[in-house]
Chain A
């Protein structure tokens, strides 16, 4: 398997309860099994209560900092559109962006005091041209029977960027982290996400 020496930075963002932490755990399991050094950082606690959640995931030959340097993300994996836009400046010029086409209104929008930004995918396309990928994560997961699996749909889409990593390794890692009763659903969600971008 071809190895990347340089450290690769993946920035994950979403809303507390969307499963960004599980998604980043899958990434850590996959890339450590593939022989890379990995580091991952997140904030627990208050962030679980519907606030914005970010996770920094890094892998490479040797990783020092658990945090990505501002402006140095190779990938942005956003589980919610506004939470993607909030971190647009973290991405490198030639970075790739995967957006879950899903809106969760924050309190100020619920109260009608502010508007939810329109056309977020287009804002990304303005700066990143063809490197913006929009995935119907929630719709796909709803069709499979549980919208909670949208996070794994996104991971499936994201997996396409790493052709050197075999599909089985992704599936094994998902199995190792998810309770048996919902494994089948999540593997389907992964495969659907993988097909959605390939």
Chain B
């Protein structure tokens, strides 16, 4: 068969395709987003949707499974927290068509609000979990996960992570084979799928028995592989950690676990018999270590030397196990003091003027998950909390109840359109119902921007880019009981500040919706057309070097130290400069310049 270079996420999608999956659902989240995108773009045989959130995605996949087809849901680690309510009970009901849930962890929080280890979900939910280490395994493990799901009547978790999902390696392609399961719904199966107490207690027994059978299966599972080389030293590992360990200790013995829950007890026992000193190399939590210690084995090294936070790397594994014998490469040049380059809002981004307005108003901003977390960094520093999807809306209400009469005018909640639809509706309903007075601002940029422009129920398009209905935020707000609903054009800084000031001071719930503010990178929405000029430049005769234009942290604007005087005789220490390659003409700097020193460049 043909061999191609594939990203881990693309390989998971390919595995689902080859396994005959009929229904796939997901909510985007780094590093998992390319799984559903690949299915939507490349494999028309698979129905693929962006669901409103991860919980819905698991419900959709679960329903499809019960109707008799193979189904998959995919999400990032924190997405499974949202979906966990569904997972914990689908673990009891089991499946008809294979049901696989892919969860992609993000050690080191490259693009996440925490660093949780999703292997704990497998133990908690009492379902099996597979962990691939490269793209070929991503494909193979996805396929076999569906077989395990049907054979053992269980949802199966696949745990990926940033360095698996976002690494590329060679994959051998196979054909699509659809399973032989009768499609249809059968009311007689209600006791299996209706988790009322009487039926729960029956399925509870099944869950424990299933776990026993899965433990036996783990001992024979073809991707739990023992490699006996030098028998003095051995490593038990899985996923990408195995690859790091194999890279630096190629001659040692290995027990590579393709299935990280349940664990293969007999195989582990055999490994300890064959190898003298056994170390456990795993990222994040001491998950394997805790279990293997509980089995009564004495391990040589584990989390006593292997870091329990951030991601591992070949040199970290080498250093951990070699200890004092590890010779780090020499540092020839000290790079620790070089200017850092954190990510930033794009030039022309509609979030920039909105957060500038919030900062100028002196508001405490309950933030959320999305590109706008970039407004946290200086000099904007205009977000004061980021917890989880939808949290800002609920927190702003809680804070306003705590502050009482002192509350109005102090704070607001801010979240993106996709985030609002994902988890912002119940807390906004809660504000209205409980007679709150907090203000919620929806930054509608018409897409799920940070994860790479995925569609959502407010964007007007499906995952396959078919036009569809779009949520009307104003009507939705009204229906939830919010009476004061306003629109702002964030590119008009003064008007935006005036409207927000009015709303936050009201003693009633407010909803503010940003309009005409699509993501600046979303070509479909033609975001540049509304700008009157193609760009702006600094009039050096007028610029006093006051640095006000730098407060918006636009990548196109810099300040050059250069003593001198303006044309009308004001002494200055430097001047601002606008990079024409980067400026898109949003006019925000022009609006805030006090000396009319920023001039348009005609289109």
Q: Do A and B bind each other?
A: yes
Where the two chains meet, the residues of A that have a C-beta atom closer than 8 Å to any C-beta of B are 15-16, 25, 28-29, 32, 37-52, 63-72, 82-83, 85-89, 105-112, 114-117, 123, 127, 147
* B30→A45 contact, CB < 8 A: yes
Of B169, B343, B581, which contacts A48 at CB under 8 A? B343
Q: Does B550 contact A (CB under 8 A)?
A: yes
Q: Which of B247, B339, B550, B553 has the most CB of A within 10 A?
A: B339
| Closest residue on chain A to residue B349 by CB atoms | A49
A47 shortest CB reach to chain B, Å: 6
A117–B255 Cα gap in the complex (Å)? 48
Counting from the closest, the 6 A-B pairs by CB-CB distance are: A71-B329, A45-B111, A51-B343, A45-B30, A110-B558, A65-B247
Please indicate the chain A residues that have their CB under 8 angstroms from the CB of B371 in the complex: 49
Residue of B nearest to A31 (CB): B5
List 14 A-B residue pairs with CB atoms under 8 Å apart, sorted by A's residue number. A38-B169, A41-B166, A41-B168, A42-B166, A44-B166, A45-B31, A49-B371, A50-B343, A50-B555, A51-B342, A51-B343, A82-B339, A107-B344, A147-B581
Interface size class for chain B? Answer: 35 or more
Taking a contact as CB atoms under 8 Å apart, the answer to whether A70 and B329 are in contact is yes
B340 and A43 form a contact (CB under 8 A): no
Q: Is the CB of A89 within 8 A of B329?
A: yes
Shortest Cβ distance from residue A30 to the other chain B in the assembled complex, whole angstroms:
10
8 Å CB contact of B318 from A40, A69, A127: A69
Which residues in B have their C-beta under 8 angstroms from that of A147? 581
| Among A25, A38, A48, residue most surrounded by chain B Cβ atoms (within 10 Å) | A48
Q: Tell me if A123 and B333 are in contact (CB < 8 A).
A: yes
Q: How many A-B contacts are there with CB distance less than 8 Å?
A: 171
Q: Which residues of A contact B333 (CB under 8 A)?
A: 85, 88-89, 123, 127
CB–CB A49/B343 < 8 A: yes
Given contacts A106-B341, A107-B377, 5 further A-B contacts (CB under 8 A): A40-B169, A64-B244, A86-B338, A110-B555, A110-B558
B314 within 8 A of A: yes
Which B residue sits closest to A116, measured CB to CB? B339
Count chain B CB atoms within 10 A of each CB in A65, A82, A108, A123 and give the residue with the most.
Answer: A65
B183 part of interface (Cβ distance < 8 Å): no
Quick one: closest A residue to B169, CB to CB? A39
B:337-391 near A, CB below 8 Å: 338-346, 371, 374, 377, 379
**Cβ–Cβ contact A107 & B342, under 8 A:** yes
Partner of B339, one of A16, A87, A114: A114
Chain A residues positioned under 8 Å from B240 (CB to CB): 65-66
Do the beta carbons of B341 and A43 come within 8 Å of each other? Answer: no
Which residues of chain A are near B329, meaning CB under 8 Å?
70-72, 89
For B344, the chain A residues whose CB sits under 8 A away are: 49-51, 107
The residue in chain B whose Cβ has the minimal distance to the Cβ of A43 is: B110
Per the bound structure, the CA–CA distance linking A197 and B553 in Å amounts to 38
- By the criterion CB–CB under 8 Å, are A43 and B162 in contact? yes
When distances are taken between beta carbons in the complex, the residues of chain A under 8 Å from B450 are 45-46, 49
Could you tell me the distance between the alpha carbons of A184 and B306 in the complex, rounded to whole angstroms? 50
Q: What is the predominant secondary structure among interface residues of chain B facing chain A?
A: loop
Question: B169 → chain A, closest Cβ, in Å?
Answer: 5
Residue of B whose beta carbon sits closest to that of A28: B5
Whether A44 lies near B332 (C-beta < 8 A) is: no
Residue among B111, B332, B560 having the largest count of chain A Cβ atoms under 10 Å: B332
The answer to whether A110 touches B550 (Cβ under 8 A) is yes
Interface residues of B (CB under 8 A from A): 3, 5, 30-31, 110-111, 134, 162-163, 166-170, 240, 243-244, 246-248, 250, 313-315, 318, 328-333, 335, 338-346, 371, 374, 377, 379, 450-452, 547, 550, 553, 555, 557-561, 574, 581
Task: Please measure, in the bound complex, the distance between the C-alpha atom of A170 and the C-alpha atom of B353, giving whole angstroms.
Answer: 44
Question: Which residues of A sit under 8 angstroms from B167, Cβ to Cβ?
Answer: 39-42, 66
Q: How far is the CB of A65 from chain B (nearest CB, A)?
A: 4
Q: Which of A38, A50, A88, A127 gathers the greatest number of chain B CB atoms within 10 Å?
A: A50
Q: Which residues of B contact A110 (CB under 8 A)?
A: 550, 555, 557-559
Q: Are B338 and A64 in contact (CB under 8 A)?
A: no
Please give, as numbers and ranges, the residues of chain B lying within 8 Å of A51 by CB-CB distance: 341-344
Given known contacts A50-B346, A105-B558, A15 and B341 CB-to-CB distance under 8 angstroms: yes
Give the residue name and chain of the B residue nearest to A17 (CB).
Answer: B346
Give the residue of A38, A68, A107 whose beta carbon is less than 8 angstroms from that of B5: A38
How far, in whole Å, are A148 and B313 apart by their CA atoms in the complex?
32
Task: State how many angstroms separate the Cβ of B243 from the closest Cβ of chain A.
Answer: 5
A44 lies within 8 A of B452 (CB): yes
A52 to B342, CA, bound (A): 7
Residues of A within 8 Å of B574, CB to CB, are: 112
Q: CB-nearest residue of chain B relative to A15?
A: B341
Chain A contacts of B3 at CB under 8 A?
32
B244 touches A67 (CB 8 A): yes
In the complex, the chain B residue whose C-beta lies closest to that of A105 is: B558
> B332 near A49 (CB under 8 angstroms)?
no
Which residues of chain A are within 8 angstroms of B30 by Cβ–Cβ distance?
44-46
Contact B313–A67 (Cβ < 8 Å): yes
Q: Are A108 and B111 in contact (CB under 8 A)?
A: no
Nearest CB of chain B from residue A182's CB, rounded to whole Å: 15
Q: Check B346–A29 contact: CB distance below 8 A.
A: no
Q: In the bound complex, do residue B315 and residue A69 qualify as a contact, i.e. CB atoms below 8 Å apart?
A: yes
Q: Does A49 contact B346, Cβ atoms closer than 8 Å?
A: yes
In the bound complex, do residue B341 and residue A39 qualify as a contact, i.e. CB atoms below 8 Å apart? Answer: no
Across the interface, which residues of A come within 8 angstroms of B5, CB to CB? Answer: 28-29, 32, 38, 40
By beta carbon, the residue of chain A nearest B168 is A40
Q: How far is the CA of A45 from the CA of B338 in the complex (A)?
A: 23
Q: Given A32-B5, A49-B343, A51-B342, is A67 in contact with B332 using a C-beta cutoff of 8 Å?
A: no
Decide: A70 and B313 in contact? CB cutoff 8 A: yes
**A115 surroundings in chain B (CB, below 8 A):** 339
Contacts of A107 in B (CB 8 A): 341-342, 344, 377, 553, 555
Complex alpha-carbon distance, A72 and B547, angstroms: 43
A83 contact set on B, CB distance < 8 A:
341
